[in-house]
Each structure stands twice: as C-alpha cells, then as structure tokens.
Amino acid sequence: MTDRGAPIVIRDVSPGRPGGSPAKGLLGEPTEVGATIFRDGHGIVRAQARLRRVAPDPGADVVTELRAQMDDRFTAEVLPDSIGRYEWVVEAWTDRYATWCRDLRAWDAADEDVEPEFAVGAQILDDLIEAAPPALTDRLVDASSALRSLSCSPLVRLGAALDDAVLAIAAVCVDPTDHTVSPTRSLRVERPRAAAGAWYECFPRSEGGFARGVSERLEAISAMGFDVVYFPPIHPIGRTNRKGRHNALAANDSDPGSPWAIGSADGGHTSIEPGLGTLEDFDRCVATATRLGLEVALDYALQCAPDHPWLAEHPEWFRHRPDGSIRYAENPPKRYQDIHPLDFWCPEPHRTELWSACRDILEFWIERGVRIFRVDNPHTKPFAFWDWLVNGVLDRHPDVVFLAEAFTRPAVMSELAELGFSQSYTYFTWRVTAADVRSYVEELTWGPGAGTFRPNFWPSTPDILFGPLRGGSPGVFRVRALLAALLSPSYGVISGYELCESRPASPLNEEYHDSEKYRIVTRNWDQPGSLAPFLTTLNRIRHDHPAFLRLDTIRFAPTDHAEVVAWTRHDPTGRPPVLVVVNNTPDTTAETAVHVDAASLGLPAQYRATDELTGESWTWHDGANYIRFDPQIREAHVLVLMPLPEDHRP
C-alpha cells in the first residue's frame, strides 16, 4: 500500500499483484502498464515505470514515462527485449518546475508582478540539478543563472523561465521532495509459443515407438503444418492392476495398459517404456522433430502405478488408509486401481523431498531438449506446489511452456493461470451452438481473465468425445477444427481426428469406444476422405495471417441465421483483414446475410473477398452480403478482404 504520509497516492497498479505471481507478457508484444496517480492540491504529477530483468540473469533498469490519461490514470507500453522475469515499480513525483511555470503564466497573464517569483524558480532548478542526467545539467545551471540575473530585463528572465527545453529536462528529473514508489510487481515475458501454436497429440506406441515409426509420423505431422507434437506419457507402464481395453479392470497379456499408469520395474518418470525404445532413441526423435520444425511436448503426470519404484523407496510420499494400505486414485464413484496419487502435503521433511523429486523430473527432460509440458490434472495438486514449481522452473528456463489440462471450475482454472501456467485447456469442447461459441470467445477475449488465461482449443481429447462429433460427419469434424484453429491462438487435435473417428463408448458416456488410451491402434493414414489436407490448409492460413495467433483481433459480425457465426480478424500490423463465416450445422443448408462494417476494417464501400479455402473471389460491399451454405459444397468461408483492383472499381 502507498505510504499514507506522502502527498502522492499510487493505486490500482497493473498488471500483476503485489507479492503475487508474475503477470504475463510475450516477447515482441508491448505490455501496457499503468496506475491511478494523484496528489492533494494542484501540483502537476509526473510518473514513470522502472523495469528490470531479475531472472534468469539480472539486467539493467529500463525507464519508461507514464502518460496521463483520463481520471488520473497514467499508462505506458513497455517492450522488454528478452524472455524472463522482470520486476517493476511505478514512481511518481510532483513536477514542481512545471507547476511553477503554469502558475507564472497565469500571474503574467493577469498583469501580476512576476519578478519576485524568479528566485523561486531558480531554487527549484537548483534542487533538480543533482537529479538531472549529467549531459543536461549545464542547461539547468544556465537557466537558474538567467532567472537570478538582475542585469536581464523581466521579459528576458520570463522567457528563460518558460523555455520549452528547460521544461522538458525538468520533467524527467525525479524530484526527491515527494518521490513516491509503488510496491514491486513482477512481469514474466514468455516466448510466443506460450500463447500460440498448433498441437497434434500422438501416441508413440501406436506408431511403432521411437526407434521405428514415430519419426515417419513426424514427417506427416510437420507436413500438415503443426507446431507441437504432444506425446502422452512415454514412461514404463505398471503391471499391477493394469487396465485392459475399454478401461476393463482385468487386462490380458497383450494389453499395453494406460500410459498414465506410470512406473514399473523398468523405472519411473525419468525412464522410457521399453517397448518404445531407449532414451537415445527418444533423443534422436527430438532431433528429428527439431529438424522438421516441430517441438516435442511431454505429458507431466504426477501419479504412480503400484509398481512405481517410489512406492517401495518412499512410501511416505503416498496417502495411506488406517490399515496401512496405499489409497488408489479416486473420483467417487470412480476408482483408478492402476494409479496411486501422491500426498503433496505429507509431513516435513518428506514434503520437501517429494516436491524436489517432482521438480527433478522436469529438469531431467529439459536437459534432454524438451521445452513444452502438458500437465495432467494440475487442479488436483496444491496451488502452493505449482506456484513454487512453475515459477522456479521458469526462472531457470524461461523458454519452457506449461499447458494445464484442468477441466474444472472457472475460478480454479483462472488461479492456475495466475500461478504461471502458460495456457490451458478450455470448455470449447462443450460449446457447440453458435451462440455458446461466440459468448465463450468474447468472455476469453474481454473478460476478467483476459491477458492471464491463455486458451488452447481442442475439439476432442482421448477422454472426451462430445456433442456433434459423436457419430459426426466429416463436415462436422471440419467445422469443429476450423472453429478451434481460427478462434484460438492455440489449438490441437488428437491422432485419428483427421480420419473422423467418432464412435462413442455408449449413448451416455463421453469417452471414445475402444479408446487409444488402453490399446495400440493401427491406422491407414492414406485412406480416402482424410482431413489431413484440410488441417494443412487451416495451419497455412494461421501462418499466413498472424492475426489468428492473437485473441484481441477478434470482432464478431452479425448474421441473420442463429447457427451461422462470423467474425473478423483485423491485423494491427497492416495486413488485410480476414472474415470467417461458418455454418455451425454443416449437415444442413443455411442461408444468411453477413453484416460487415467496411469502414471499421479500413475498407472502401466495395471490396474484394477472396476465399482462402477455395481461391474463389467475389465483390462485396458495406453492410449485408448474402451467403448460402450447401452441405455438398462448403461449410465455411475464410475471406481475405481487400480493395478492388483499380480497373474493377466503380
């Protein structure tokens, strides 16, 4: 809290919380900082932000002037030049010289005798000389001397007092008289992948492991334009209580088990399932992915199969029943007999040992070149643990990205984002009507969590097959992929999505029938009707139009059909705007008018609309434009809007 003994009040400093986790910024994008600043009386207040990188390596102070806005709000944009954690404060003071000059003008305009005031102005300048940049002190000394010079006429001395150059120097001198500093805030600047990217989830065991088919599959994933290939857990899978196909409690000898049942006699979280290959094979896979322009993301699941070495080595790290047995993971009425949860609140010193061991898992894989982690069920672990772990890792390795797999209450998801998770899974999977999609995206873009909660849209996951995708047509799969890819800066699909795998476990169960979580799946990736070309086009559009990699460029456009949703992307760098129009019920015909405000997009009354999906072009105009969606022809338009060529203008 601001010192109440000071005449200047600094409050509502943003972004960030005093003493809290760092606010979020992205390298290459300015971060707006600001505060409400005022003082008693009529003195002119100046303010600045002082920013300094503190991790992973300390840097020099960078000072940015805060400009006064409406209602005593002072703001500025800061643009750090490297990733890492920064600390910053707001500093404010009274510009006594500018205040004195303002009053001097008023007295002079009223024909008051201003000559007695010159000594006051000279004294203020004398006070500021020590605070002035060394190269500018001579100018202040000269001005002070001119104000005191009795050999100069009052008019000359008045001109010296009101010299714009002197006023500019005085404005940047931090006057120590009432210099006030806000509590320190933190800002973490992350690389762009922390907010934007196209993800593809791939089970290595279904592709033959790291020594064989995974590298070939990486070629196809890269060719589709994805940025990240995410592997579910690659560690040894427990034998005790191993799950069979369809999540059966009894497994036969050929069942591989769930990858999330981590740990066996072959090792734990820093080992690889023998059927997938060796650590050296994994290293070669990472190198191949890097060569192809892909980043590898690993699952970080803090739980243990009954055979995990930790159960024998550290039984104190687990929850025990009164009879001494270790509890299975539970979500009543469900029981997960193939895994045991860790007890993150076990007594000291065991708690520190456990937390450190969990950190060491990340350090192990970071050392092997992994910089992205999809964190399994973080909402079931303590917030204090994530605050300690995530921020500690990011201080040492600022290029690491954490994706929170937390399908839970909004407040909990928001808290995880506040604690440092780079991005999160979302409710997009369950937002299936056009109205729900629009309202959810507007909430993410402009709601209270905007700027902290970074979404990652997945139409489905290995656990969740919901809504129109259940038994859905290829058109439905295309529409859900398009919505995810062109509404959210980050999105992802699971292996098999391009083949429109759509059979649910049952009419009431959200899961897939015969889920890949419990079996090895062999697919014909070249079968007719694959959506791989369509996904390739979506990723190419995202690459060609960077506005799709930001949330704040979205503006929804009105349509006359309840299930046709339209939005524009206006690129702040000057690229042409893009209009996306989607028939959210692609198996039915839809006709509508889309209402476009051409002037707000910087367009003339008539303009060219060119479809990125088909290459077709039309002449459109300000206001309502007719569209018809036929299931046999198209489900969507992605229209680049540009002025008509000179020879086509009316």
Q: Are residues 40 and 185 in the same domain?
A: yes
Q: Are residues 641 and 558 in the same domain?
A: yes
End of a domain among 155, 190, 225?
190
User: Is 299 inside any structural domain?
Assistant: no
- CB 206, CB 495: distance < 8 Å: yes
One-letter amino acid for residue 127 of the chain = D
User: Is 33 inside any structural domain?
Assistant: yes
> Taking 50 as the threshold, does the pLDDT of residue 82 lie above it?
yes
The predicted pLDDT at position 556 comes to 97
By percentage, how much of the chain surpasses pLDDT 70?
Answer: 98
Query: What DSSP string describes 49-113?
Result: EEEEEEESS----EEEEEEE-GGGEEEEEE--SSSEEEEEEEEEEE-HHHHHHHHHHHHHHTT--
Query: What DSSP string describes 583-648?
Result: ESSTTS-EEEEEEE-TGGGT--SEEEEEETTT--EEEEESEEEEEEE-TTT-SEEEEEEEEPPGGG
- CB 494, CB 429: distance < 8 Å: no
Q: Which of 190, 405, 418, 501 is catalytic?
A: 405
The average pLDDT across 389-409 equals: 97
Q: Are residues 185 and 83 in the same domain?
A: yes
Environment class of 69 (CB within 10 Å of its CB; exposed 0-12, middle 13-18, buried 19+): exposed
The average pLDDT across 342-366 equals: 98
End of a domain among 174, 203, 219?
174
Q: Are residues 184 and 71 in the same domain?
A: yes
Q: Are residues 7 and 70 in the same domain?
A: yes
Q: Which two tokens stand for residue 472?
A: 């859905």
d(CA 273, CA 234): 6
- CB 225, CB 198: distance < 8 Å: yes
- CB 372, CB 193: distance < 8 Å: yes
User: Is 22 inside any structural domain?
Assistant: yes
Q: Which of 227, 338, 376, 612 is catalytic?
A: 376
Environment class of 228 (CB within 10 Å of its CB; exposed 0-12, middle 13-18, buried 19+): buried
Q: Are residues 123 and 45 in the same domain?
A: no
The average pLDDT across 238-248 equals: 91
Q: Which alpha helices (H) appear in 322-452, and where do they start and end?
A: 350-367, 383-396, 410-419, 434-446
d(CA 416, CA 404): 8
Q: Tens of pLDDT along 479-538?
A: 999 999 999 999 999 999 999 999 999 888 888 998 999 999 999 999 999 999 999 999
> Taking 80 as the threshold, does the pLDDT of residue 590 lie above it?
yes
- CB 181, CB 248: distance < 8 Å: no
Rg (CA), the chain: 31
Q: Are residues 1 and 83 in the same domain?
A: yes
d(CA 320, CA 312): 14
User: 52 lies in which domain range?
Assistant: 1-93+180-190
Residues 6 or more apart in contact with residue 58 via CB below 8 angstroms: 52
Q: Are residues 617 and 585 in the same domain?
A: yes
- Tokens 């604690």 found at: 419
Domain of residue 35, CATH code: 2.60.40.10
177-192 per-residue burial string, b: 16 or more CB within 10 A, e: under 16: eeebbbebbbbbbbbb
The predicted pLDDT at position 114 comes to 85
Domain of residue 586, CATH code: 2.60.40.1180
User: Is 562 inside any structural domain?
Assistant: yes
Beta bridge partners of 558: none
- Tokens 């102070």 found at: 61
Helix, strand or coil for residue 242?
A: coil
Q: Are residues 104 and 60 in the same domain?
A: no
**376 is an active site residue:** yes
End of a domain among 190, 225, 247?
190
Environment class of 580 (CB within 10 Å of its CB; exposed 0-12, middle 13-18, buried 19+): buried
Q: Are residues 26 and 48 in the same domain?
A: yes
To the nearest 10 degrees (0 to 180), the angle between helices 279-291 and 213-223 is 20
C-alpha 124: how far from chain center: 47
Cα dihedral sign for 265, 267, 273, 278?
Answer: negative
One-letter amino acid for residue 491 of the chain = Y
Helix, strand or coil for residue 240?
A: coil
Q: Which two tokens stand for residue 109?
A: 């305009």
User: Is 536 inside any structural domain?
Assistant: no
Q: 327 vs 123, 311, 339, CA distance in Å? A: 76, 12, 9
Q: How many CA atoms lie within 13 A of 438 on its CB side?
A: 19
User: Is 146 inside any structural domain?
Assistant: yes
User: Is 518 inside any structural domain?
Assistant: no
Q: 421 vs 14, 71, 511, CA distance in Å? A: 19, 34, 26
Q: Tens of pLDDT along 250-271?
A: 899 889 999 999 999 999 999 9
Q: 1 falls in which pLDDT band (50, 70, 90)?
A: very low
The average pLDDT across 140-146 equals: 90
Q: How many CA atoms lie within 13 A of 61 on its CB side?
A: 8
> Taking 70 as the threshold, does the pLDDT of residue 577 lie above it?
yes
Number of domains in the chain: 3
Beta bridge partners of 88: 51, 185
Q: Which of 632, 482, 642, 622 is nearest to 566 (CA)?
A: 482
- CB 80, CB 55: distance < 8 Å: no
Q: Are residues 81 and 186 in the same domain?
A: yes
**72 is an active site residue:** no
Environment class of 64 (CB within 10 Å of its CB; exposed 0-12, middle 13-18, buried 19+): middle
- CB 268, CB 304: distance < 8 Å: yes
> Taking 60 as the threshold, does the pLDDT of residue 112 lie above it?
yes
Q: Are residues 553 and 643 in the same domain?
A: yes
Q: 344 falls in which pLDDT band (50, 70, 90)?
A: very high
To the nearest 10 degrees (0 to 180), the angle between helices 474-487 and 434-446 is 20
Domain of residue 146, CATH code: 1.20.58.80
User: Is 78 inside any structural domain?
Assistant: yes
- CB 199, CB 539: distance < 8 Å: no
Q: 393 falls in which pLDDT band (50, 70, 90)?
A: very high
Q: Tens of pLDDT along 157-179?
A: 888 888 899 999 999 999 988 99
The predicted pLDDT at position 4 comes to 57
d(CA 509, CA 636): 30
Residue 219 CB neighbour total at 10 angstroms: 11
The predicted pLDDT at position 20 comes to 78
The average pLDDT across 467-474 equals: 96
